[in-house]
Each structure stands twice: as C-alpha cells, then as structure tokens.
Amino acid sequence: MPEVPEGRGTAIPAPPTPHGSPTPAPQEGPDTPRSALSPDVPVPPCDAPAPVPAPVQAPAPAPHLDAPGQPPAAAPAPPADRPPVSPPASATPNPWQNYDPWAPVPAPLQQTSAAVDTEGARRRRARRVLLLGALLLALVAGGIGGVVGAYLERNGVGGDVVALPQAEEEPAGRAPGTVAGIAARALPSVVTLHVRGAEESGTGTGFVLDERGHILTNNHVVEPAGAGGEISVTFQSGDTAEATVVGRDSGYDLAVVEVSGVGGLRPMPLGNSDSVQVGDPVVAIGAPFDLEGTVTSGIISAKERPVTAGGESGEGSDVSYVDALQTDAPINPGNSGGPLLDSRARVIGINSAIRSADDGTGSGTGQAGSIGLGFAIPVNQAKRVAEELINTGRATHPVIGVTLDMDYTGDGARIGTKGSDGGPAVTDGGPGDRAGLRAGDVITAVDGRRIHSGDELIVRTRAHRPGDRLQLTLKRDGGERKLSLVLGSSDGG
C-alpha cells in the first residue's frame, strides 16, 4: 500500500463491501477528522436489526463555515445496514429532516396545477386536429386546382394552343357627335306607345315635348284607340303610364298625347329643319315591330319631298300631305312618330312614312320594310301644329280657297270647274278669288319651285302658315302669269 504523506488529512475510502456482509468500523488515524468517525452515534451489531428511533423534529442545522485555508470536511460515511426511516404520514414534510444522501431517489414529482386528460379527451383532441388538417388541405388543394384549371382553360392542356387577339376594354363614353353619343343623349326622351282599340291595336313611337307630360307622335299611331281605346306609354327606364289624347290632326298626321303623375321627364330639344342640308348625317330612333329603343343612322337624301299617306288623294281629311325630309336611315313599321335627329341630338323631323318594294304586280304585297326610302315631317311644321293642338285641341290649315281637279294628268295642278259641293271651284271671297284665280287655271310653280300635280300643290301649301304670302306661276289661255296670294285658314279635322 502506498504511503500517504503526513499533514494532508485525506481519507482513503474503504473498499466496497458486499451486500449483506458486516461493515467494519472505520479506523481512527492521526489525520482523520472526527466528524467522519461519528463517535457519538452507536453502531448496532450486524446480526440484529437496528431499532427505529422515534421521529424527532430537529432544528435546521446551522450552515457549517470552514475556516479560511482549511479544506472542506468530508461527508460522513453512511451506516452499513441502517435502513431508511420513513416519517409518519401525518407529519409535515421537512426537507432537512433525516436527510440521507444515500437514500433511493424518489419517483419524479407530478405537477398538480392541471388535470390529466383522459383517453377519450385525447382521442377527441386528435380528431379535431385531423379535421382542421383536412380542411386546410382541402383549401390549399382547391386554390391550387382553381389556378391550374384557369391556366388550362386559358392556355390549353398542351400542344398547339390558340390564343385569339382581342382589343382592350374601352371607356363607355362616346364623342357627342357620334351615333352612340347622339343615342345616349336622346334615348331617355323617346317613348313607345301601345294603342288598343275596339277593332285594332298597334305600336308606335313618340318623344317628350315638355315637363308637363306632352308627347308628340303620328296621328295614325293613336287613331286605332278612337274614343274609347287605351294608350299606354313606356319610357326608356321601363316605367309605363296611361296617356290621353290632347289633340290630333289627320291632315298633318300629327297627334299630342299627355301622361300624368310622371316625374323626371326629359324634353327632347328641337332643331330647325330649314337649316338641314342634303347629305347631313341623321339618326332615327323608334320601336320597329315593337323592338323599342332601336337606333339606326343615315343621311338626308332629299328635302321637300311631296308625300301623301292614308286614304285616297282628294278623298276627305284622312289624307296626310307632307313636305317631307327624305332619309336612307332604316325606318320600319313601329318607327312612326319617332324622332329624326341631327348630329347634335336635336329633332329635325318626325318619322312618318316609308316606301316599300313592290312585287311588280301592283298589288302592294311586296316587302313591308325599309328599302332606304324613309320620310319625316319637318320639325318646323310639327312644332306649329303641336303648339296649336296643345293650346286649342285643333290645328289650322293654310288654304288657297280653290277646288283642284285631282284627275288631271298633265303637268301642274289644275283648278276644277266646280266645287265638291256643286258650287263654284273658286270660293267666293276666298284667298284665290281675291288673288284673281279662275276655274281651269293650271298652277305650275309656287315661289319659283315647279309642281307637277295637285298633291304637290297641297303639300307646298301645307308647308306654310296661314297668312303667309305665296308667289304662284300659272297657265291661262295658253299664256303664263304670276299672282301673289295670301293664304287663308281652315280648321283641320
């Protein structure tokens, strides 16, 4: 055994003792501390169990302070066969009581601040986690699928992919002078009329004249309603209202109806038909075949076209004589009464008649639609008639005071030999009598413009107001004469 230098005070540990064999008492040496020998604690014999001492509440030992420069005392050796002493269950635990560093390590302590989950709770929590995971996976998969589907729909699955060029979206507004710009301003003032009478019904167009609810249209549009029919007005917004006839005139083919209790009406601005020139662009709006709000465009093809419509020429008041504006803008049945607009969205005419194609048999069974020959009443004439219908319920007609021979086939308009009532052909004291006209005179021009028939003379006369002065050119006894005539007036029917 190697020697231990003196003065070190280091204890040599004893060799391990087999379990169950007696442990020899430590030997006291000159350098062994007394605290390590524990002389005050008796060691029981190895062949008898040590008595269990009664629990004693010992005060906590004061902390041991080693003198400076001295090595710390070695821990006491555990007794050989002394079993661990357990305190009574009722005793309060004391961390410093019966401390045994060689005692078996107790089981880990369990926190008591939260309850321990049961097996069912753990299963429910696991199900919730799985459900949330499945939902999240479905959302992600759906998003990816949408993106992939959109890509495939736009670009195809593979191979040759066709991508057609397309213009970018443009602003909705249009320049005021374009057809779209004109239509946008005019459509809120255009209405569709549905007329129902005892024997017939029909559809036509009209436009708002003022905020009081007056609407201008053609006489032949409202005529089927008669005295007991119904007139329904449909506005661009889709609202409908019942209308009543204020006044109508078959000679001018114009009528004014009125709606009540309708707010927000937008009157259509009126232009000047005398300023219109051949070739000017125009826009027509109407409801052909009940297709309301239909917009077509064209030009002014001609001015002062003599047009008659309705009934037979010279037979009563059912015939309309119009000194019309001609246009190639498509006009069809249902456009009647609608506005013909200039490039500033102002009314210059009221669409009233069309010329349809003939099948060559003279039966009139040809194409009943537009062939590019449409006719409109000039707005200057329509304005005067509308004002009279609103103010008095009747319109006045300018007259010459003669009866014409409508069967005359020569060039010009010939004055008949007698009147329709059997009296003189030139009314006594009338405008023609005062101007010097005689029976048999052939009128060939009005204000220097040639006329070729009796219908044309009536049309030229109707283009003026009562009281206007006309310059007539006529043939009498083989010679030509010129006369000045002031137009008279008669009430229309």
Contact, 278 vs 300, CB < 8 A? yes
| CA terminus-to-terminus distance, the chain | 157
Alpha-carbon distance values, 395 to 302, 381, 390 (Å): 27, 11, 9
Indicate which residues carry an active-site annotation.
220, 253, 336
Task: Tell me whether strands 294-309 and 469-476 are parallel, antiparallel or unpaired.
Answer: unpaired
CA distance 382 to 344: 19
For residue 402, the one-letter residue type is: V
